[in-house]
Amino acid sequence: MKKTRLFLGTVLMLFIISLLAIPALAAEDGEESNQEREGIQFDFNDLEDAPWAEEYIGKMQSKDVIYGYDDGTFRPNAPVKRIEAIVMAVRLLGLEDEALSKPSDTALHFKDEKQIPSWGRGHVVVALENGLFNATEDKIQADKPASRVWIVQLLVRALGLEDEALEQMTSIPDFKDVNTIPAGSIGYVNVALEQDITAGYPDNTFKPNKKVTRGEMAAFLDSTNEDLLEQSGAVTVQGTVTDISFEQEIDETESTDVEGSITIETSDGDKATYHLPSDLIVQYYDRFISANQLIEGDMVTLVIKNDEVVEASLLNEDQVNTTSNLIELEIKVEDEEQEYKLKYQNKKGKVRAEVKSESKDQETKLKGKEAVAEAEEIIQQLALSSDMTREDIVTKVLNTLQIEEGQYEELEIKIKFTNGKKVDIELEDEGKEESQDNGYNGIREFELGVKLLDDQKLELKYENEEDKVKAEVKRESKEGKEQYKGEQAVETLESFLDEIALSEDMTKDEILETILSELDINREDINELEIEIDFTNEKEVEIEIENDDDDDEDDEDDDHDDDDDNDDDEEDDDED
């Protein structure tokens, strides 16, 4: 079934559609457009009970992750039951079809398996198969309200970050009520905070045992969805629409898909064009419009995977810093006497920040507008750009924060630019980059061989092990051949590794896209390609493309399409 037909069917069957008059937010030359856009709002008759949650509820509805009740309510302030949360997590992972295919009489080795409703048994099976449960759990307690700490553990496991959680069990988070967090959950809370799945309350408590409402669950899921997309190789870009167009294609069944393209210009002047499905739902706070209603001059945040827009948000330029070329910035500096942390986000029409400075004698914490003002002043002084080297970025940060080289124990810098480029730097021991068994920027060996359809060839080889560094560069084209080794090759390859800034937590697709972008190579121009990388943490990555028929071998990062409408047979009981 084609996407346009599916989209209309799903919306008409599952949601009450209301049409809104949403004026265009921006147009060419800064003039407001007179065009009105028909907005799609996935509405319930009780969302005024939790207006802050409308955008999250609408977005998760649009992804078929959460549904309401037969009486037209969503009950956003009602506690979410554990079985509901499990079903939602499985849907978020794109495993709904797999769950529905499980026999409803599948035996489950839980003491209370008879209390598991038939509509959720398949989801419990899939959750077990995908490691969403604690190994020691012997009960589901399906109807029990889910607590914050229970939800955190569920979603951290859904992200595949349980190992990271186990490594952080002895790092105690800074909450006034930290003693109420179970010891075995500390690591999960730390990871959830790092991944922005959740945060503490304004009074600096975490409230681990507080019941999570259905509205809060929608917000939890939205944050987790961002992490899942990033894990799959998606990147976030932000800028102004400079061109948008759609073409209608007719297939053999005579149904139509309207496919389009969108070009945006980021604040630093970069332009890029992406494929844009016309039926993609575009978020504007708690409202939604279809992508074919975007116009030139709109300010947008786009999530891109394989050159296609998979998520989009229309922004109000009055609410975001349109001059900043940063979507996210995190800085952490530590030494024996003090610690400094800065966290800044500027995306999807929202600007958030937190600044913390702590020493033996004084502690300062800034949040809200005060933190945003402080962070944006620092960002202006930093004047970072996506074409800067890692060394230049480190120097800028240290100079801006008035920290001398070698006068810190740990330095962490994470940056996401509006053009999609990411930088992740971790330094320790007086500014020496952390490594294991030698290596450079976390890489022990790097090999690349590529042959293009026009017979151009490039070979890169780099090895840094046991205090020995070797490198070789070969190029071949119609104009001739070029080959060099030794110091020149080492400098060339290390400069290249600085620019691409690969890390062991990147997916194959993300690694491939980063390398091809830096080499200015299009996938469709490749005849053969091989990449082999050995990271210093022992992770090995191999990517092959041959005859332009096979994309890189990272099928595990493919999107899961939930293209089948879901039956609502037992929706009167719960989420199904």
pLDDT for the residue numbered 429: 57
Q: How confident is the model at residue 303 (pLDDT cuts 50, 70, 90)?
A: very high
The Cα–Cα gap between 29 and 511 comes to 38
The Cα–Cα gap between 532 and 535 comes to 10
Handedness of CA 301, 303, 304, 308 (dihedral sign): negative
Q: How confident is the model at residue 562 (pLDDT cuts 50, 70, 90)?
A: very low
pLDDT at 82 over 80: yes
**Is 235-248+257-314 CATH 2.40.50?**
yes
The three state secondary structure string of 222-247 is HHHHHHHHHHCCCEEEEEEEEEEEEE
Nearest CA among 73, 7, 16, 39 for reference residue 215 = 73
Tell me the average pLDDT of the chain.
83
Q: Residues 313, 319, 321, 326: what is their CA dihedral angle, to the nearest 10 degrees?
A: -40
**Mean pLDDT, rounded, for 282-309:** 90
| Dihedrals phi, psi of 378, to nearest 5 degrees | -65, -40
Q: Which helix (H) or strand (E) holds 20?
A: strand 16-23
Domain borders along the chain are 39-232, 235-248+257-314, 326-428, 441-546
More confident residue, 367 or 434: 367
Q: Which helix (H) or strand (E) holds 167?
A: helix 162-167
Over residues 518-543, the pLDDT tens digits come to 898 988 889 999 999 998 887 889 99
The Cα–Cα gap between 569 and 231 comes to 34
More confident residue, 432 or 100: 100
pLDDT at 511 over 70: yes
Whole-prediction pTM:
0.69
Alpha carbon 133 to chain centroid, angstroms: 23
Is-contact 334 412, C-beta < 8 A? Answer: no
Q: How confident is the model at residue 560 (pLDDT cuts 50, 70, 90)?
A: very low
- Structure token pair of residue 92: 């978020």
| Dihedrals phi, psi of 27, to nearest 5 degrees | -150, 175
More confident residue, 468 or 6: 468
Which strands sit side by side in the sheet containing 526-535, from one edge to the other? 480-485, 468-477, 457-465, 443-452, 526-535, 540-546
CB atoms within 10 A of CB 86: 26
pLDDT at 248 over 90: no
Nearest CA among 144, 106, 143, 97 for reference residue 128 = 106
pLDDT for the residue numbered 478: 83
The Cα–Cα gap between 492 and 485 comes to 10
**Residue 301 identity (one-letter amino acid):** T
Over residues 319-378, the pLDDT tens digits come to 677 778 999 999 999 887 789 999 999 987 788 999 999 887 888 989 889 999 999 999
